[in-house]
Amino acid sequence: MLRILSVFTLLISSFFFSQAKLNLIPYPQKIEFQTGEFIIPKILLLHPNLPKEETEYFKKRLSSSLKFKNTKKGNSQLLYFQLAKSDSKNKNDEFYSLKISSDKIVIESYTNQGYFLAIQTLIQLFETHKNGKIPSLKIDDQPKFSWRGMHLDVCRHFFTVEEVKKYIDYLAMYKLNTFHWHLTDDQGWRIEIKKYPKLTDISSKRKQSMIGAYVENTFDGKPYGPYFYTQDQIKEVIQYAQDRHITVVPEIEMPGHALAALSAYPELACTTGPFEAATKWGVFDDVFCPKDETFTFLENVLDEVMQLFPSQYIHIGGDECPKTRWKECAHCQGLIKKNNLKDEHGLQSYFIQRIEKYVNSKGRKIIGWDEILEGGLAPNAAVMSWTGIKGGIEAAKTSHFAVMTPGAYCYFDHYQGDPQTEPNAFGGFTPLDKVYSYNPIPAELNAEQAKYILGVQANLWTEYILDFKQVEYMIFPRLFALSEVGWGTSNPENYKKFEDRVVEHFKILDKMNINYAKSIYNINGKVIPRVGGVSYRLSTSQKPEGIRFTADGSIPTANSQTYDVPIPVSQTMTIKSAYFEGGLKSAVSTQEFTTSKTTGKNITLEQQPSENYSFGGAFTLVDGIIGNVKQLGKMWLGFQGKDVVAIIDLDEKTKFSEVYFNTLENIGSWIHLAKSAQVFISDDGIDFKQIKEIGKNEIQSSKGKVKLNVGNQTSKYIKIKIENAGTIPVGNPGADSKAWLFVDEIGAN
C-alpha cells in the first residue's frame, strides 16, 4: 500500500533553489530541486490522519523551535491522507518520497517505517535551514543496505536504561536501523535470566577494573557492579527502539568470553574452577565446555532471550575462543572422536551448529563473529565479519548472509585523531575520512554474491569508555560517516563536501548537549617521502592559513611560523602545530622525529600487515616516527601469524654499523615479541648475505627496543627478517591461536 501522508503549510515564492545546498546526513539517493521555497511558519498544521506515534516523535524533536496544530476535517487548505494500492514488485519498506512545495509538504511511503525515515529528513531540513526557508524539492529515497547497525558493549562498562535509549535515539536520527546489544562477556553478565538468578547475583559484578593503557597492567581497586538489566527494563528498551523502527539484536557470547557466567556456574567449564569475572581486558582460556548440561543451560538462557527479543537474528558471539581447555579435557576429546571431528576447531563448529539447530527450531536465526567459520559454518548462520573482510567474502561465496564490520573501518573504540591529543583508547586509528571511505561490498564478490551482504555495522567496545559522555565522543562524528556508507550515498571523492555537512550537524549536537570529538578541527599530520628524506604535511578541515607550527619543540602561538608547504625533516626534531582563528586555538599536535639512514627510503614487504593495523603501509616503518608503546594508534604495523620481511633500498652504497627496530609485547592481547631477527645486506637487491642474527632472549632483554651491532658495513640494500612468535603456547591468553607481531621503525646508523 502506498501511503500519502502530509505535513504542510503556507506561502508561494519564486526563489529558485536549483543550486541549493542541503545539509542532510545521510544524503538522499535522488533530489530534484524545483522553483520556489517553503517558508517555515510559526505554527505548523498537521493532518489528523498522520501516523500518530511517528508524528508525536516529530513534534517532540521540533517542539523548541515550532508549534503545532492539528486541523479539523474539511479544512480546504489541508491535503488528505489515504492508503493507495501499489503494483511495485520491488517496493522497499524503507522507501519514502518527500515533496516540498511553497504551500505544503507531502510524504509518501509504503509503511510507517518509511514515513519515519522521511520525518528524519524533514527534521534535518528544519534544523539546518537558512533564513527560515526550505527549497521546494522532491526527494525519492531508500537505503542500499537493509542492515545499518551500531553495537554497544555494556559488559566492560555498564550504561543505564536512559543512556541506552539516548544511544537508540542517535541511531534513529541518522537512519540506522539495528542496535546490537552486547550483553554478556568475561567482565560481566548484564541480562536477568530468571531461571539462573546467580547470573545477576554473582556474574554481574567484578572485584575491580583495569585502568590506563593495557601495558601498564594497573587496576582501580574498586568493586564494579552489580550492574544488569531486568527483564522489564529489557522490554522497555525494545519497545523504545521499536517505536523508532530499530531492531534490537541481543548478543549472548559462547563458547568463549564466558568467565562471568562460569563464576556463577563453574560446572559448565572443563575444569573445576573456581572462576571470577575478569578484571582485565583480553581473552581467557576458560570457556564453556560442550557437554549436555552446558547446552541445557544455554538453551534455557536463549529461551528467555528469545521471549524478550523479537529480532529475527540472535547473536551468539563465537569469537576468540581459545582451545586450550578443550585440548586438555577428556570429555571434549571424546566428543571429537565420537563425532569424527577433525580437531578442536571442528568441535567449535559442532558447538555452534548444535546451538543453531535449537535457535532455528524456535523460528529464529543465528549470527556470529567470523570465527564461527572455523571448522565449517552452520547451515543457516549469518556472519559478522570483524577481523577483516575475508569472513564476509567466504560467507557470501557460500550463500550465507554477512554483515560487514571490519575493525580497520568500523571499530569506534579506535583513535579518531592524533593519539597524543585524544583520550586513551583501545588502539588502532580510524578517523572520520577512513570510515567514510569504506565500501561494504568486497571487490572479490560478483553481483549475485554481493546480494548476501546485508549491510554494515560499527562496533563500540568499552574497555576504555568509562561513562556515556565518552560513548558520545567516540561515536560522533563517525556515526555520520557510517550512516552515509550504510545508506549507499557515500563518495570518498566528495569527502570535503561531506565534512562541510558534518560541521553543520555539529550545531545540532550542540543544541542537544551531545558530546562529540572535534578531531577534524585539529591538525592532521602526515609523513610523505621526499628526495633525501621525508617531509611532514599538515592539514585541517579549516582554512590552511590558520595553521602555525614550530620545529624546535616549543609551543606554537598565533605569531609562530605560518604553514604553507610540507616541512622538511632532515634531522631528529620535534614539530608542534595548532590551528588559530579569531582568538581560538585547537589542541596542540606534537610529532617527534628520529631520523636515520633508512628514513624516507623505499621499502617493500614480502607479506602485508593485517588490515586492522596497516595504516600508512610499509612506509610507516621508515617514516622517522618511533611508535608509542602505550598506544597502538597509527604508528605500528600489526601482523598476525606472519613474519616481517622488509627490504630497504638506501639509494646508494651506504655505510652503517647499527640496525634497529621496535616491537611490542602485550600478551593479554595476543601480542608477543619476535622469536628471532636476522639482518642481510646486498648490493643488487637479489643476492643477500646474512650479517647478524639474534634470538628471543636478546629481544626480550631489550624490551622490544632492539638495537643490533652489525659491525662496519657498506651496502645499497638492507633486508631484515623479524620472526613471528608463531602459535601462542599453552598457559597464555589465546593459546593455540596465531600470535600478533607489532613492529615499527626500522632504522640504520
d(CA 415, CA 418): 7
Q: Is the same domain home to 124 and 153?
A: no
Where in the sequence is the domain holding 720, given as residue range(s)?
A: 602-748
- With the C-alpha atoms ordered 430, 435, 441, 444, is the resulting torsion angle positive or negative? negative
Alpha helices in 339-397 (DSSP H): 344-361, 390-397
- β-strand 313-317 against 247-254: which pairing, if any? parallel
Domain boundary among 96, 118, 141: 141
Q: Is the same domain home to 136 and 151?
A: no
Q: Is the same domain home to 267 and 214?
A: yes
Q: Is the same domain home to 334 and 454?
A: yes
Residue 744, all three cell numbers: 615499527
Looking at residue 46, its pLDDT comes to 84
Determine if the pTM surpasses 0.85.
yes
Domain with 719 in it: what CATH number? Answer: 2.60.120.260
Judge contact between 140 and 117, C-beta under 8 A. no
488: left (phi over 0), alpha (psi -120 to 50) or beta: left
Q: Is the same domain home to 582 and 618?
A: no
What percent of the chain has pLDDT above 70?
A: 94
Judge contact between 517 and 502, C-beta under 8 A. no
Q: Is the same domain home to 496 and 528?
A: no
Give the single-character DSSP code of 666: B
Q: Is the same domain home to 173 and 312?
A: yes
Judge contact between 656 and 707, C-beta under 8 A. no
Q: Does any domain span residue 545? A: yes
CA distances for 564 relative to 395, 546, 548, 557, 561, angstroms:
48, 10, 9, 16, 9
For the CA atoms of 427, 433, 439, 442, the dihedral, rounded to the nearest 10 degrees, stands at: -50
Q: Does any domain span residue 252? A: yes
The band of 89, judged by pLDDT with boundaries at 50, 70 and 90, is: low
d(CA 565, CA 618): 24
Q: What average pLDDT score do residues 154-172 get?
A: 98
Interval 710-747: pLDDT, tens = 999 999 999 999 999 999 887 777 777 899 999 999 99
Per the prediction, the chain carries an average pLDDT of 90
Provide the 10 A C-beta neighbour count for residue 80: 11
CA atoms within 13 Å, Cβ hemisphere of 30: 10
- β-strand 453-458 against 427-429: which pairing, if any? unpaired
User: Facing residues of 159 across strands?
Assistant: none
The band of 48, judged by pLDDT with boundaries at 50, 70 and 90, is: confident
Residue of 117, 132, 118, 121 whose CA lies nearest to 38: 132
Q: Does any domain span residue 645? A: yes
Q: Is the same domain home to 181 and 37?
A: no
Q: Does any domain span residue 708? A: yes
Looking at residue 85, its pLDDT comes to 46
Q: Does any domain span residue 516? A: no
Domain boundary among 141, 161, 193: 141
Unique residue bearing C-alpha cell 498537521: 46
Q: Does any domain span residue 510? A: no
Q: Does any domain span residue 497? A: yes
**DSSP letters of 212-253?**
S-GGG-EE----B----B-HHHHHHHHHHHHHTT-EEEEEEE
Judge contact between 260 and 278, C-beta under 8 A. yes
585: left (phi over 0), alpha (psi -120 to 50) or beta: beta
Residue 486, all three cell numbers: 550504510
Which range has the worst mean pLDDT, 142-156, 310-324, 539-553, 726-740?
A: 726-740
d(CA 288, CA 269): 5
Interval 187-227: pLDDT, tens = 999 999 999 999 999 999 999 999 987 667 899 999 999 99
Contacts of 360 (CB under 8 A, 6+ apart): 366, 380
Q: Is the same domain home to 127 and 176?
A: no
**Coil, strand or helix: which one is 360?**
helix
Provide the 10 A C-beta neighbour count for residue 147: 27
Q: Is the same domain home to 652 and 539?
A: no
- Active site members: 185, 257, 320
The band of 559, judged by pLDDT with boundaries at 50, 70 and 90, is: very high
CA atoms within 13 Å, Cβ hemisphere of 157: 17
Domain boundary among 504, 536, 561: 504
Q: Is the same domain home to 723 and 610?
A: yes
**Coil, strand or helix: which one is 348?**
helix
- Domain count of the chain? 4
Whether the predicted pLDDT of 20 surpasses 70: no
Q: Does any domain span residue 517? A: no
Q: Is the same domain home to 208 and 136?
A: no
